[in-house]
Amino acid sequence: MKIVVIITTYNSTDALSASLEGFLAQKDVNFEIVVADDGSGAETAKTIHSFQKRADFEVSHVWQDDLGFRAGAIRNRALAQTKADYVIFTDGDCIPMPNFVSGHRSLAERGWFVTGNRILLSEIMSRRVLEKGLSVNHWPVRKWFVAFLRGDVNRWLPLCRLPVPGLLRKLPARRWQGAMTCNLAAWRENLLNVNGFDETYSGWGLEDSDLTIRLIRSGIYRKSARFAAPVIHLWHKENDRVSFEKNKQRLEELVASHRILANKGASQYL
């Protein structure tokens, strides 16, 4: 099974560098990376080019014009470019733990997509990580517990590796709420069958919910990666949410329908 990790980024080279470093430390190195760049400037391209020289796996860069927040469109472009069997989505402000790829590989199963969780770092802690180059992805759980007591992180328990029974992982099978593409994996074939992300969502918000609803409708159900493949989310200012209400209306219209295919999706790039 060939795996691709699609990392979405936009003009945040320090965070992207920290994320990419986390992929150099993976226990499972049998994967490729596609950096899905939503219109960043030259510094991001330089960061990716430098990383390509150091990585033992394939790293490619997919770019689109900067016309505002278009995460769905750049993910679709990346999805069309790769030929990998299995796709793991994450963001350029997320640092993977060393077992991130191996955890997702172990949970991959036909007929299911997988959603993981994230641990939020405080603004001060995020600044320390980026300025000092802290390898927090190698911290033992006890150190995370201390960080939690200090208020540097919102929770620590999801960083524990626990043997969750398969049946429990499938309890949220038909639940679309709460799934986030900073930590979501699916078979490429299943993603293309629903036409990928719906690019009619404008600006930040709910395009990931739209995708998971359509996957579930197509007969691909949700499986949890809790305690198996977490990511550490660096603090950043909130995205502009001016389009959220319109996106919410789009999602409500989808819920009220029986639609499976994205109105404007990945097929245009294939």
Whether pLDDT at 242 is above 80 = no
pLDDT of residue 239: 67
Whether the CB-CB separation of 154 and 86 falls below 8 Å is answered with: no
Cα separation values, 74 from 62, 66, 119, Å: 7, 11, 25
pLDDT in tens, 81-103: 999 999 999 999 999 999 999 99
State both tokens at 15. Answer: 């965070």
The mean pLDDT of 118-144, rounded to a whole number, is 95
State both tokens at 106. Answer: 């172990």
Q: How confident is the model at residue 237 (pLDDT cuts 50, 70, 90)?
A: confident
Whether the CB-CB separation of 223 and 106 falls below 8 Å is answered with: no
Structural domain count, the chain: 1
The CATH number of whichever domain residue 228 belongs to comes to: 3.90.550.10
Q: How confident is the model at residue 122 (pLDDT cuts 50, 70, 90)?
A: very high
What average pLDDT does the chain have? 95
Residue that the structure tokens 């990931």 belong to: 208
Domain that holds residue 138: 3-269
Query: Rg of the Cα trace of the chain?
Result: 18
The mean pLDDT of 242-260, rounded to a whole number, is 92
pLDDT in tens, 140-199: 999 999 999 999 999 999 999 899 999 999 999 999 999 999 999 999 999 999 999 999
Whether the CB-CB separation of 206 and 250 falls below 8 Å is answered with: yes
Whether the CB-CB separation of 260 and 211 falls below 8 Å is answered with: no
